[in-house]
Amino acid sequence: MHSLEFTAESSADGMTERDFTVGEVPGVLWSPASGADGAPLVLMGHGGGNHKKHPAMSGRARRLVTGCGFHVAVIDAPGHGDRPRTAYDEQEIAVMQQAMAAGEPVGPVVVRYNAHLAERAVPEWRATLDALQELPEIGTGGSVGWFGLNMGTAIGVPLVAVEPRINAAVFGLHWPDALAEQAKRITVPIEFDLQWDDEHIPREAGLALFDAFASSEKTLHVNAGRHKELPRFEVDSAVRFLARHLSRTALCQA
C-alpha cells in the first residue's frame, strides 16, 4: 500500500489546497483552513479531457469546503492531467476526435474508452481513499461521498458498486451500456442529472441508467438543454444532497 505524500500546499479564502501523490497517481485535497477534523470527505471525478484542478472541480470543491466544512479530493484519471497517455489512450482519443470531426456518434467510443479508464481508475481511487483515511484530519470515522458526471460517472458507478465506504453519490450524463449492471449493485442514496435535449445521450439511455440503481432513495434531475448546458443550480442541488446524506449537521451555506 502506498501512503499519501504531499507535494505542494497553498491557502486562499478559507480553503487549503494540497497537491499529493499516492504512488504514481497525482491528486489534490481541498480542506477548510481550520477545524475540519473528522469532517465528511467528498471524492470528485473529473470529466473526460479535463483534469483534477479544472475550474468545475475547484468551483465545486469551494462550495463543499467553505460552504459545508467538508474535505474534497480529486485525482487525475489515467491519461489525464499530469499523467502520461498510453498508446491505447492515444488511439482511442484519435478515434473519438475523428468521430466528432465527421459528425458521427461519439457514444460507442466514449462508452468503450471510459469503461477501460474505469478499470484502471477504480483500484487507484480505492488506494487513494485508503491513504486519505490514514490522515489524522480525515480518519475512518467520517462519511464519504462521490460526485462525478460524464466520465466521473463512468468511473464512479463501478467504484461505488464495490466500495462500501461511500455513503452517497451524485452521478449523471452517461450511457447505461457499461454501467447498468454495476448500478444494480448500488443501494446508497443517489442524485442523477440528465439533459433532456442531450445531443449525445438519448433520453431513454439516461433514464435506463437512472432506473438501474437499486437505491431506495434516488432522485433524477432532468433539465431542458443540450449535453453541456447543465444548469449551474444543479451544483447547488448536488451540494445540498451531499450535505443531507453525509453530515449530521448539514449547515451548508449552499
How many CB atoms sit inside 10 A of residue 120's CB? 15
Among 133, 167, 187, 223, binds a second copy (CB under 8 A): 223
- Indicate whether 221 belongs to the interface with a second copy (CB under 8 A): yes
**Which distant-in-sequence residues (6+ apart) come within 8 Å of 178 by Cβ?**
111, 112, 114, 115, 118, 154
d(CA 176, CA 199): 16
- Member of 93, 95, 178, 220 binding a second copy (CB under 8 A): 220
**Nearest approach, Cβ of 165 to a second copy (angstroms)?**
23
Region class of 79: left (phi > 0), else alpha (psi between -120 and 50), else beta: left
User: How many residues belong to the site for a second copy (CB under 8 A)?
Assistant: 18
196 is an interface residue for a second copy by CB under 8 A: yes
Q: Would you say 61 and 236 are in contact if contact means Cβ atoms under 8 Å apart?
A: no
Q: Which of 1, 224, 232, 248 binds a second copy (CB under 8 A)?
A: 224
Q: What are phi and psi of 221, to 5 degrees?
A: -115, 115
What is the C-alpha separation between 78 and 137, in angstroms, rounded?
27
Query: Which one-letter amino acid corresponds to residue 170?
Result: V
Q: Which of 99, 177, 211, 250 binds a second copy (CB under 8 A)?
A: 211
CA dist 69 and 43 (Å) reads 14
Q: Which is nearer to a second copy, 92 or 193 (CB)?
A: 193
Name the residue with cell 485508503.
Answer: 130
* Residue in 205, 210, 242, 247 binding a second copy, rule: CB under 8 A: 210
Is 56 one of the binding residues for a second copy (CB under 8 A)? no
Nearer to a second copy, 180 or 220 (CB): 220
Q: How many other CB atoms are found less than 10 A from the CB of residue 55?
A: 8
Stretch binding a second copy (CB under 8 A), from 87-95, 124-132, 140-148, 216-224: 216-224
User: Least CB distance from residue 211 to a second copy, whole Å?
Assistant: 8
Question: What is the contact surface with a second copy in residues (CB under 8 A)?
Answer: 196, 207, 210-211, 215-224, 231, 233, 237, 244
